[in-house]
Each structure stands twice: as structure tokens, then as C-alpha cells.
Amino acid sequence: MSDIRVEQLDEFRWIIPPTGGMRVPGIIYADERMMKRVEKDESLNQVANVAHLPGIIRHSLAMPDIHWGYGFPIGGVAAFDAEEGIISPGGVGYDINCGVRLMVTNLQFGEIKNRVKDLIIALFRDIPAGVGSESSLKLSVDEEKRVLREGAGWAVNRGYGSSADLATTEDGGRMQAADPSCVSERAIERGRRQLGTLGSGNHFLEIEVVEEIFDRKVASTFGLMAEGQVAVAIHTGSRGFGYQVCDDYLARMVKRGGKPDFPLPDRQLACAYIASDEGKEYMAAMACAANYAWANRQMLMHRTKQTFEKTLQRSPREIGMRLVYDVCHNIAKIEEFPVDGRKKKVCVHRKGATRALPPQHPALPDVYREVGQPVLIPGDMGTGSYVLVGTEKAFEETFGSTCHGAGRVMSRGRAMKASRNRSIATEMAGRGIVVMAAGKKTLSEEMPEAYKNIEEVVNVVHRAGLSRKVARLRAVGCIKG
């Protein structure tokens, strides 16, 4: 139980007034029921801990999918002054640029209803998934460094997809700050065999069907034309490469952390000033991992396209699989926001949170300029996903950020116990969802009850105005690691 004092500000906002070394208040977006659950674990302490870090601007924020992480809470958002503030590897997480990519097709569910199982079997065969899954592609060190510098563009240049995909990928699928010389040999070695793999845990590739459209104008701009349309969602990140980058820099900063000029409430919050050499080097290495993740999702999308064509014996034109958008939800980025009436460069950490830019923002591709950024929110296994759109309010209140998913409520151990003597795959099949997983325990650990209800999470961000509902998709098939 948390001993942090929280006050309700309005229907969906709760404030932690600054105490002790907190430099700013904490703000949590949640409804009353969620807040009761949040108070049971330590995530509120983590929101308060983040507020201790130098250069933090306005608030330490948490989205409604907040849960206990390490260092920063999952669902945490914090912006730091780009000149005087810090950057923290623990504020990004180990799976750097873990994210979601959504593709739509010209197919209607009726056309593939009897082929979902075939598609899932074929995808499971063609896409390496599972713990430490390895790619058929082994990169040379020089080639891997090109991936790290060029991101999704590297994949497009090697024939995985088209340049149009880059326009609808966050940051064009490439962070400019990337510098492979800031990456350890260990990270390089781990990255060589994992490009084009899904990984394990909560990562997945899902065949989905548009179930409900809330905003037809925005939905059609995103390519979501009608109920029954088939789509594919991919949720994965930078694999072992990203874990190693985070691990290397955290260890370095913890080691140096013996003599900080400010007290750290938790070692996992170890950080460096953004303007310091160490801060710049972490940013350059983190950007390499972000680029690796974008190249990874770009390759997986291309493989998915090919598998659909082969399995359904239809031409690429008939299938018409195209990218709606690709978002990252574990990242730190330098972005500009109005602060005290002036435009200011800040380093926004989103750890389990999604960027949600409003209409007319210059970082949006032309096709979405009028409506705002697509925000992709995956649910737990089998619930499908939500597509939301960014708002002005998120830009003003949360540094253009919103939730990222359902968020766990049950530990993996408790999920294993709760699923004992049950076949989760059969239960899912009973709900019309074909599931295949590489790991024996994955389905139990990832069973739907282990997660918060995605609908509750999305309703809070919708009603709080941090993003608006555009469409809901339901899952019909899923491969997991």
C-alpha cells in the first residue's frame, strides 16, 4: 500500500503535492476505480520519485495504464529542460522503442474467415518468435551499423517495403542523433542475429478486424474504411540490442552515481545531464536502438505482407496491405512545447506512453496534418486494439502524450497460478481467436485477466481529452513469442 498522499483535482486527474525533495507535483490520469488499484502498489511512489530529478518541467505525469515498474512507473511521462535537465535510461526502459505498427488491407473478414488458422500457422512459421529468437539474416558489423544510423530507411533500401512507409512512421523511422560509436561491442553482437524477429513476453503479431468506428472522418483518413476490414498489428521493439544499450548505460550511471549533486531516491533512476558527454552518448546509443526497432518492425511488416500473399494466393494489389502508422512507446526525445508562454526544447521521456500530436503539428505527415496523429493502443492478448487520434489538450497538458496499452494488474506468477489446469489457447479459440505461442508459459502469463481492461484505460484518456477514440479493432488471430 502506498503511503503517498493523493488529492483529486477533477474527474480524471489526481495530484501528488510536492513533499521532501520533489521539485514538482505528480499528476495521475485515472478514474476513481483505477486509482483504488493504483494505490495498492508502489507506482505512486515512483511518480513521486521521478519528480525529484533535476530539470523536470511542470509535473511528473502518469497515464491511466500506470503500473509498478522499476525506476519510472510504466505509463510515466516526464519532460526535462533540454539545457539543464537530465536524461535517464530507466525513464525509457530496457526495450527501447518498443512500439506498435498497424497495417490495414483491402480484405473483408468474410473473405478470410476460414483462412485465419492457415494465416496464423504460416505467420508463425515465417516470423521468428520466442525467447532469444534468431533471424535468418545475420548482419555484418558494418551492415548493423548502417541499420543503427538509418533505421526503417535501411530496411526500405534493402527491399523491405517502400519509402511511403517512412512518411507514416513516427520520426520517419529514424532518430538523427544515432551514433554507433556510442554502442558497446556486446550490444552490437546481440543485435546481429535478431533483426526481423518478434521476441517474447507481451510482444505479438495480431490479425484484427475493424469492429466499431467512432469517428468516420478521421478513420477514413487513416485508411480504416468500414467495419469488417482486416488489419494487422505488430507489437515489438529493439530486442536484445536495446536491452543491452539500456543495461550498459544504467550500469555506467549507477557507478558514477556515487557522487551526484542531487540525491537519487532509487538507483534505477540513475541519470546524466542531457548536456553532459555521458548524457549525449546515451542519447546517441538510445537513438541507435530506436532505429534498430523501426527497422525491425519494417521488416516484420514486409514478411507479413509476403505471407498473406503466399497463403491467400492473392496479389499485393488485391490484398492492399498498407501502413497506417508506427508509434513508439518507450523513448526519450527532444521536442518543442510551449512552457510558460514560450516555446521550449524539452527531453520528453515516455515509458509506456505514446506520443499523441494534435492536428497541424509540423511533425505530422501531410496525409494526417488535418486530423492529428494516429495513436495505436494494443490491448491484452485477444481484445484487439484501439486507434485514437492526438489532441491539442495532450499537447498542452501532457507534452503530447497519452496511454500505451492495457497495463498489467496481475504479476506473471499470479497469472500462472490463476491459469493452472486451464487451456488458455482453447479458451481463446472459444472466443474466435486463433493463438499460437512459442513459449510454453507465454499464454498463461499473458492471459487476458492479467491486464487492465483496455476499454477503461482508453475511456479515461478519451474523456480526459488526451486523445479521441477513432476505431476499435478485435483480434481474430495472434502469434506470440
Partner 1 sequence: MDKDKVQAAIPPYRIFDHTADLGVEIYGRNERELFCNAAFALFDIVTDVSLVHVTGEWEVFAEGGDLEELLVNFLREILYMCSGEGLLLKEFMISEMDNFHVKGTARGEPFIHGRHCMNIEIKAITYHRVEIRKASGTWVGRVIFDV
Contact (CB, 8 A) for 100 and 170: no
List, as one string, the DSSP characters of 55-112: TB-S-EEEEEEEEEEESEEEEEEEEEETTT-EE-GGGT-SSTT-EEEEEEEEEEHHHH
Residue closer to partner 1, measured from CB, 258 or 430: 258
CA nearest neighbour of 288 among 373, 364, 176: 176
Cβ-contact 126, 311 below 8 angstroms: no
Q: Compare residues 84 and 449 and give the one whose CB is closer to partner 1.
A: 449
Catalytic residues: 404
**Min dist. Cβ of residue 476 to partner 1 (A):** 26
CB of 413 to partner 1, least distance (A): 5
Closest CB to partner 1 among 20 and 413? 413
- What is the smallest separation between the CB atom of 408 and partner 1, expressed in angstroms? 5
Q: How far is the CB of 407 from partner 1 (least distance, A)?
A: 8
Q: Least distance to partner 1 from the beta carbon of 69, Å?
A: 6
Between 343 and 440, whose beta carbon lies closer to partner 1?
A: 440
Residue among 199 and 477 whose Cβ is closer to partner 1: 199
In angstroms, rounded to a whole number, what is the distance separating the alpha carbons of residues 208 and 474?
Answer: 5
- Minimum CB separation of residue 77 from partner 1 in Å reads 17
DSSP-derived 3-state class of residue 115: helix
Give every CB contact of residue 259 below 8 A, 6+ residues apart in sequence. none
Per the CB < 8 A criterion, the answer to whether 219 and 97 are in contact is no
**Which grid coordinates are listed for 397?**
497538458
Q: SS in 3 state form for 309-328?
A: HHHHCCCHHHHCCEEEEEEE
Can you give the binding site for partner 1, defined by CB under 8 A?
Answer: 41, 67-71, 74, 90, 93-95, 130-132, 186, 189-190, 199-201, 240, 243-244, 246-247, 250-251, 254-255, 258, 266-268, 270, 408-414, 439-441, 445, 481
* Residue 445: CB atoms within 10 Å: 24
Measured from the CB atom, the residue of 69 and 99 that comes closer to partner 1 is: 69
Point out which residues pair with 337 in neighbouring strands. 344
In angstroms, rounded to a whole number, what is the distance separating the alpha carbons of residues 238 and 23? 33
> 180-219: buried (b, 16+ CB within 10 Å) or exposed (e) per residue?
bebbeeebbebbbbbbbbbbbbbbbbbbbbbbebbbeebb
